[in-house]
A and B are shown apart, each in its own frame.
Chain A
Amino acid sequence: MTLDSLKPGSQCYTKKITAKGKLNQRLIDMGIYPGLQVKVIRNAPLEDPMEIELGGYCLSIRHEEAKFVEVEG
Chain B
Amino acid sequence: MNKVLMALAGQPNCGKSTVFNTLTGANQHVANYPGVTVDKMYGSYRKNGVKVEVVDLPGTYSLTSYSLEERVSRNFILHDKPDVVVNVMDASNLKRNLYLTFQLLEMEIPVVVNLNMMDVAHRRGVEIDFDCLERLLGAPVVPTTIKKGKGKKNLINTINKVGLSKKKEHGIKIDYGSMEPFLDEIEKMLAGVCETDYPARWLAVKLMEADDEVEKIIRRHSAAGFDAIKARVKQIRRAFEAESDELPERHIAYARYKEADRIAGESVSVKRKEASLLSDKIDRIVCHKIFGPLILVGVVYALYHLSIVEGYKLTNYTWPLLAKIKSLTAAIMPPPGFMTEPMVRSLALWFVDSVNALLNYVPIFFILFALIAILEDTGYMPRMAFLLDRLFKRFGLHGQSTLPMVLGGIYVGGCAVPAIMATKGIPDERARFATTLIIPMLNCLAKIPLYILMINIYFAQHKGLAMMFMATVTIFMALPVAKILSLTILKDKETAPFIMEMPPYHLPTIRGVLGRAVERIWLFLKKIVTIVAAVAIVIFVLMQFPGLTEDRNAHYADETKIAKESFYKKIAGNPYAEYVQGDSIMALILYNERYKKARMGIKNKEKARTVDARFISENENFFKIVKPKKDKQAKKLNRALKKLISARKRILRQIKAEMIDNSFLGKIGRSLEPVTKYAGFNWRVNVALLSSFAAKESSVATLGALYQSDEEGETLEKRMEKTEKDFTPLHALSLLLVMALFPPCIAAVLTIKIQTGSVKWMLFSMFYQMFLGIVVASFVFTVGNLLGLTGLQAMGIFFCMALTFTIIMGLINPRHEYQ
Contact = CB atoms under 8 A, between A and B. Distances in A.
B502 A60 contact: yes
Contact of A48 (B93, B389, B501, B816): B389
A56 B271 CA distance: 13
Contacts of B818: 19, 23, 64-65, 67-68
Interface in B323-365: none
Interface string B270-299: 000101000010011001111011000000
Nearest to B390: A46
Given A25-B249, A26-B66, A33 B254 contact: yes
B92 interface: yes
B292 A62 contact: no
Given A56-B93, A57-B275, A25 B66 contact: yes
Nearest to B287: A42
Given A33-B253, A49-B390, A65-B818, A27 B287 contact: no
Contacts of A20: 247
Interface of A: 17, 19-20, 22-31, 33-34, 41-42, 44-49, 51, 53, 55-62, 64-65, 67-68
Interface string B784-813: 000000000000000000000000000000
B88 interface: no
Nearest to A48: B390
Contact of B497 (A22, A41, A57): A22
19 contacts: A22-B497, A23-B497, A23-B818, A25-B64, A27-B499, A28-B250, A29-B62, A33-B253, A45-B287, A45-B289, A45-B293, A51-B283, A60-B501, A62-B499, A64-B816, A64-B817, A65-B498, A65-B499, A67-B818
Contacts of B273: 56
B669 interface: no
A24 B399 contact: no
Contacts, number: 124
Interface string B247-261: 101100110010000
Of A20, A29, A49, A51, the most chain B CB neighbours within 10 A belong to A29
A59 B387 contact: no
A22 B66 contact: yes
Contacts of B816: 64
A33 B498 CA distance: 18
Contacts of A41: 280, 283
Interface string B379-397: 0001001110111010000
Contacts of A34: 254
Contacts of A45: 287-290, 292-293, 387
Helix, strand, loop or mixed for chain A's interface? mixed
Contacts of A59: 499-502
B61 interface: yes
B112 to A, nearest CB: 23
Nearest to A67: B818
Of A20, A27, A42, A44, the most chain B CB neighbours within 10 A belong to A44
B497 A27 contact: yes
Contact of B61 (A30, A53, A58, A62): A30
Nearest to B270: A56
B62 A25 contact: yes
A49 B498 contact: yes
Given A24-B247, A56-B92, A57-B501, A44 B386 contact: yes
B496 interface: yes
A57 B124 CA distance: 12
A51 B95 contact: no
Given A60-B498, A60-B500, A68-B818, A28 B287 contact: no
A24 B290 CA distance: 33
Of A20, A55, A67, the most chain B CB neighbours within 10 A belong to A55
A56 B818 CA distance: 28
Contacts of B391: 46
A22 to B, nearest CB: 5
Of B66, B273, B283, B292, the most chain A CB neighbours within 10 A belong to B66
B96 interface: yes
Interface of B: 61-62, 64, 66, 92-93, 95-96, 99, 124, 247, 249-250, 253-254, 257, 273, 275, 280, 283-284, 287-290, 292-293, 382, 385-387, 389-391, 393, 399, 427, 496-502, 816-818
B61 A29 contact: yes
A38 to B, nearest CB: 13
A60 B62 contact: no
Nearest to A39: B275
A29 B100 CA distance: 9
Contacts of A67: 818
Contacts of B257: 31, 33
B568 to A, nearest CB: 81
Given A28-B253, A29-B61, A62-B389, A55 B95 contact: yes
Of A33, A60, A62, the most chain B CB neighbours within 10 A belong to A60
A45 B287 CA distance: 7
A55 B389 CA distance: 24
A51 B274 CA distance: 16
B386 A51 contact: yes
Nearest to B382: A60
A61 B501 CA distance: 9
A68 B393 CA distance: 19
Given A44-B387, A56-B275, A60-B399, A31 B96 contact: yes
B250 A30 contact: no
B64 A44 contact: no
Nearest to B275: A56
Nearest to A68: B818
A30 B501 contact: yes
A42 B281 CA distance: 12
Contacts of A27: 497, 499
Contacts of A17: 250
Given A29-B64, A56-B275, 20 more contacts: A25-B62, A26-B496, A26-B497, A26-B499, A28-B250, A31-B96, A31-B99, A33-B253, A33-B257, A34-B254, A42-B287, A44-B386, A44-B387, A45-B287, A45-B293, A45-B387, A46-B391, A49-B498, A58-B275, A60-B386
A33 B293 CA distance: 33
A24 B124 CA distance: 30
Given A26-B66, A62-B389, A65-B818, A44 B287 contact: yes
A49 B399 contact: yes
A65 B254 CA distance: 19
A22 B816 CA distance: 15
Of B96, B280, B382, B818, the most chain A CB neighbours within 10 A belong to B818
A24 B249 contact: yes
B246 to A, nearest CB: 9
The 9 closest A-B pairs by CB, nearest first: A46-B390, A29-B61, A29-B62, A58-B502, A28-B253, A26-B497, A31-B96, A48-B390, A45-B289
Nearest to A47: B390
Contact of A44 (B96, B254, B390, B496): B390
Given A25-B62, A29-B99, A60 B497 contact: no
Contacts of A68: 818
Contacts of B500: 59-61
Contacts of B64: 25, 29
Contacts of B389: 44, 48-49, 60, 62
Nearest to B501: A59
Contacts of B62: 25, 28-29
Nearest to A49: B389
Given A29-B61, A48-B389, A60 B292 contact: no
Of B61, B427, B498, the most chain A CB neighbours within 10 A belong to B498
